[in-house]
Amino acid sequence: SYLFKDKRPSWFERTLVILKPDGLQRALSGEVLSRFEQRGLQLVAAKLIRPSAAHLKQHYWELRDKPFFTNLVTFMSSGPIIAMVWQGTDAVAIGRAIIGATDPMDALPGTIRGDLCITVGRCEEGPKEYWELIGKRNKFSCLTNSRFRNVVHGSDSVESAKHEIDLWFKPAELVMWERCCHDWVFESP
């Protein structure tokens, strides 16, 4: 049975994944969900919501001193998102591998960010005319004003996953269910 009291099996690891506003607007929800599903992780919670800036500030609190913090919060609250919890052995690390590097220019093909997006507000040195053309005064204002449209968020450690899941979901919203393919995906002791 999946119901246990004392010891949690290794496949009980959970990670928080968010389909960001750009992902939903670009009709990538099915694509993104299916990548996690097909890899073998199990969906245990999901909801479509439009989070408040205050909620997102809590979510990204670790990044509060970064120059892009305000714009990240503005971007993330600019439209609905889908918050999800995926479960499985090494769910956090597997989730990060499915998602790929923060900057889509560094993300490998085969990852969500490497396949499905381009913009991360990456700022190269360039001629002044270029910055004027795209409406930015300079490299610094590009860095602080650009919106990072990298489709998904995934927890970066087991600790932050626990914290983030608590922030986005009530315990009762996490659904325990037996998946028929469980033993085909995860080795049982």
What is the set of active-site residues?
A: 153
Instruction: Locate 101 and state its tokens.
Output: 């590097």
User: Whole-number minimum distance, CB 179 to ligand UDP, in Å?
Assistant: 27
150 appears as a binding residue in the annotation: yes
CA–CA dist 68, 83 (Å, integer): 22
Per CB under 6 A, 173 contacts ligand UDP? no
* Interface with ligand UDP in residues 102-121 (CB under 6 A): 102
**Is-contact 13 186, C-beta < 8 A?**
no
Instruction: Give alpha helix (H) positions in 40-157.
Output: 53-59, 69-76, 91-99, 112-116, 128-133, 139-145
Closest distance of CB 18 from ligand UDP, Å: 9
What ranges in 100-181 are assigned the alpha helix state H?
112-116, 128-133, 139-145, 158-168
Question: Least Å distance between CB 159 and ligand UDP?
Answer: 14
Judged by CB under 6 A, does residue 68 bind ligand UDP? yes
> Applying CB under 6 A, which part among 37-45, 49-57, 150-158, 169-177 lies near ligand UDP?
150-158
Residues found near ligand UDP in the complex (CB under 6 A): 63, 68, 72, 102, 148, 150, 153, 156
